Amino acid sequence: MEGKIIGILVYLGVIFYLGYKAWLRTKESTDYMLAGRQMNPFILAMSYGATFVSTSAIIGFGGVSGMFGMSLLWLTFLTIFVGIFIAMVCFGKRTRRMGLALDSHTFPELLGRRYKSKFIQQFSGVVIFVFIPVYAAAVLIGICRMLEVAFPAISYGAWLLIVTAIVAMYVVTGGLKAVMYTDAFQGSIMAAMMLILIVTTYSLLGGVTEAHQALTDMISLVPAKLLKGGLVGWTEGPHFQSPIGLTIYTTIIYGVGIGVLAQPQLAIRFMTVPSDRELNRAVAIGGVFILLMTGVAFLTGALSNVVFFKEFGKISIAMAGGNFDKIIPIYIDKIMPGWFSGLFLVAMFAAAMSTMSSQYHVGGTSLSRDFLEQYIKVGNSGSDMKLNRLGVTVAVIATLVWAWLLPGGVIARATAFFFGLCAASFLPIYVLGLYWKGMTKRGAKVSMVGGFAFSMFWLLFIHVKEAQTIGLCQALTGKVTLVADAAPMSWAWLLQWVDPNVVALPVSLALAVGVSLATRRMEQKHLDLCWEGLC
């Protein structure tokens, strides 16, 4: 116990020092929102990766892999190929150049200025501010659940307040510089701990081959409920045409793996570096980091079934009492050496804080810069900074409220929801805005609103996980979902497990292209400004 406390205190000491250092260097609005556009490739890559991967991936998705197995490794592939390589090489450079040409400071401002539309900036800013606290709350829940296991004398509710206060201190004062400085430090801790975790796990099981074979041989222990839902084993992918298969492949793998491209807290980092060279150098660093984070979490989660069964005669979901958010925390607490437990707790603290700080920052600046500033006259950079800090404070409070309200086992689902919503709302107009001069203002508006509306409709009336919890469909129609009465295992019935993003993203893309082709092209002078330095 003393080791855990000392480790956390040392860690917090470094964090507050870095936050103080960033505060001293944050003098203007550009410093607060874009870290002065002077970040180096290591800080960029580690900040990007630490923001992308947090307790929602390690605790939440790691727990999901404990229940559903190694099929989640497909998400690791997508996060590296799409989330790092495609994002930085194909989108990062154009985002940085266009953002500089249009003097954009936030992701919504980039979209708004690309299409010369205050509506687009305000609408996207409100969507981000309203919904990113749900994602941030999932991260907050993840670390507080782990702290609850490590320090049972302190209640879960108290941990929510403590962690929120710690992160808010340096984000509100230091802005994006504080976020990225601390991210780089936190990411380094996370990488080291995950490397130790996977090496130790395989050592406990006698090696890589032996571990995987042991998990394969445990097929007879898969619960009947999971078998009925489509799971065929922990080392094989579930049947695609099954509730579990559709949840894994459409919500988790596709929703998160593709949705990463439209994440505002990630896209804004492309505008924090002085040149394309930093983006090129960041690709390799980011790829290795993501492999260590997600790959290790998913492998450890699945292999925990073998370890738990050998030690306690129970599989992972049974050890966690049915709440898969507790699988990884219990694994660390019960299986790993005592010295590692304290260090890993610090790593998860770092994982949560790195992502939450970015979520608070992007949610707060979306409220202040992209919405409030459109109605409130800001006289100077000092007033501008005060408004930004107010926005971040409001985002912090909203996250804390959601963390209190959301039920258990929600970490992975809340993460996938936000990724999917951003993809349906922003990805077509973001990608086409970077690459296609024929994309029009009206096409962007219709695509963004249409994608958002269709995604929300599917979530409220079709997708059973959210529709059942929210209850709006039940209240209006008397049915849990609109397709609940369809024949079991028919395609109509299976739609309940198809992620909203699978349907909403193609609709949003079709609207963007169709409406743009049918409406007048934007003036050439504006397009020349947007494409300055791109060709």
Return the closest-CA partner of residue 183 out of 374, 19, 354, 407: 354
**pLDDT the model gives residue 18:** 84
Question: pLDDT category, 341, cuts 50, 70, 90?
Answer: confident
User: Residue 410: its pLDDT value, please?
Assistant: 60
pLDDT at 116 over 90: yes
pLDDT band, very low/low/confident/very high, at 412 (cuts 50, 70, 90): low
Return d(Cα 62, Cα 384) in angstroms, integer: 40
> CA-CA distance, 143 to 60, in Å (whole number)?
10
Burial of 206 (0-12, 13-18, 19+ CB in 10 A): exposed
- Predicted pLDDT of residue 378: 56
Cα 360 from chain centroid?
A: 13
Q: Is the pLDDT of residue 291 over 60?
A: yes
419-458 pLDDT per residue, tens? 888 889 999 999 999 999 999 999 999 999 999 999 999 9
**How far from chain centre, in Å, is Cα 497?**
21
SS3 content of the chain, % helix, strand, coil (to 5): 80, 0, 20
What's the confidence (pLDDT) of residue 203?
A: 94
Instruction: Say which residues have a Cβ less than 8 Å from residue 305's Cβ, sequence separation at least 6.
Output: 66, 215, 218, 221, 234, 315, 316
For 289-309, what is the mean pLDDT?
93
Average pLDDT over residues 167-195: 85
Interacting residues of 252 by C-beta distance below 8 A, sequence separation 6+: 61, 64, 72, 75, 412, 416
Specify the pLDDT at position 446: 97
Q: How confident is the model at residue 522 (pLDDT cuts 50, 70, 90)?
A: very high
Give the integer Cα–Cα distance in Å for 297 and 291.
Answer: 9
Average pLDDT along the chain: 86
* Per-residue tokens: 141: 């829940």
Residues 245-287 have pLDDT tens digits of: 888 888 888 878 888 888 888 888 888 888 888 888 899 999 9
Where do the domains of the chain lie, and which CATH numbers do they carry?
2-23+37-463+498-530 (1.20.1730.10)
Note whether 300 and 197 are within 8 A (CB). Answer: yes
d(CA 317, CA 444) in angstroms, rounded, equals 44
Which tokens in the block code for residue 394? 């409001």
Q: What is the pLDDT of residues 370-383, one digit of tens each?
A: 888 777 765 554 45
pLDDT digit string, tens, across residues 184-203: 888 888 889 899 999 999 99
DSSP string, 200-252: HHHHHTTSHHHHHHHHHGGGGGS-HHHHHHT---TTSPPPSSSHHHHIIIIII
For residue 56, pLDDT over 80 is answered with no
378 vs 389 pLDDT, higher one: 389
For the cut 70, the answer to whether the pLDDT of residue 476 exceeds it is yes
pLDDT higher than 80, residue 55 = no
pLDDT at 216: 94
Average pLDDT rounded to a whole number, residues 106-129: 93
Would you state the pLDDT for residue 309?
A: 94
pLDDT on residue 205: 94
The closest alpha carbon to 435, from 353, 344, 369, 513, belongs to 513
